[in-house]
Every structure is written in C-alpha cells, then in structure tokens.
Amino acid sequence: MSTPSLNTPADMLPAIKRRWSPRAYSDRGVDHKQIESMISAAAMAPSAYNSQPWRFVYSLRSDEYWQSFVSVLDEFNRSWAQQASALILIASTPEHQNDGKTRALPYHQFDCGAAWMQLALQAEHLGLQTHAMAGIHRERAVSAQLLPNHWQLQVAVAVGYLGQANDLPATLRNQETRRPRLPLSAIAYAGRGAAEVS
C-alpha cells in the first residue's frame, strides 16, 4: 500500500491524520463492546435542537443477521465488504417529537454526517478501520426487517482490522491506498474570495 503525502498540519489530531477508508479487512473479529464504544462516540455529535436524529443498527460477521446486512449492500460493495468484521447501518429520523409536538428536521442528514465522522475517529482510536458506503439498497433494509420504514437509511459502514490488498478482487487492489486531498487554496476562501472563482 502506498501512502501519498496529504500535507497535513503538524497540529492536526493524530486520529484524523491516520483515518482512511480501506476495503481490505482481515479475518480478526470485533466485539459488541468495540461497536458500542464507536456508537457512543457518534452519539456525542452535535445536532439541530439536540434532536439526535441518528439511529444505528449493526451486525457482527459471526451472528445470525450477517447475511441480511450483507444483502443491503450493492453488488460492488458486497464484493469486498462481506469480509469486514461488522456492518453498521446509519439511519436518521426526519422528524423530532418534543412535548407532544412534531418538528421537521431538515438537517437530519447533515447531523448524521457529524455522527458518522465521530464514529470513524473513535474506530481509529481503537485501532479499527471503517469505510462508509452509499452504494446500498435502502428498501432491502426495510424488507429484511432491519429498519422500520419511517427511518431513512443514509449509509452502511464496514468495520474491522486492516487486511491485505492482495485479498481484494483484482480490480480493487491498486486502489487500496489513501487518496490525496485538494489543497486549501482550492476549497477555502477568506471573505469574498469565493466570488472570484470562475
């Protein structure tokens, strides 16, 4: 695996520097305590009105629900993610009940993104790797009775220990590397600088 320079500042949190999204996972298992630690970190994320719209449903590779979780993945993601040690479905609720009133949550997907990132960083802290996948069949999560139909499935997340690129399908082996990031000059603008971008 090659590791391109990402030009990260020296004072960046180490877990952020180390985190990436591999597809190769070893056969070493994870346990409920590790998954619950990750979800606990995710639950500390900020959310609009403190609504905490995220919901997490997970399966370990060794349990009876594994094949149902794998079936939620599209064919491409299934080809590698079924080797992970756990799969977590991250869903959200688009409405919030408070004091008998229902409030729409137009930012529930944004809030889920914040929760996912904290989950991924806690996984890194535990020595685990994660890879979020949008290539999923959302309706299968409901038909397999993994989620109620009023939850909106956002992503599936593969979790496990880093494996060997050679264990991946041949078409994916050369992609098993950290990917470079755009320079700050391409994404950050002070004041009205963005108005001058063509």
Question: 106, 87, 108, 196: which is closest to 154 by C-alpha?
Answer: 108
Assigned CATH for 32-163: 3.40.109.10
What is the tens place of the pLDDT at every residue in 126-137? 999 999 999 999
What is the tens place of the pLDDT at every residue in 23-44? 999 999 999 999 999 999 999 9
In this model, does residue 193 exceed pLDDT 80?
Answer: yes
Q: What is the pTM of this model?
A: 0.92
In this model, does residue 97 exceed pLDDT 90?
Answer: no
Annotated domain spans of the chain = 32-163
Cα of 146 vs its chain's centroid, Å: 18
* Distance, CA of 189 to CA of 155 (rounded, Å): 30
In this model, does residue 1 exceed pLDDT 50?
Answer: no
**Among all chains, which residue has been given the structure tokens 């004091």?**
99
**Which alpha helices (H) appear in 4-65, and where do they start and end?**
14-18, 32-42
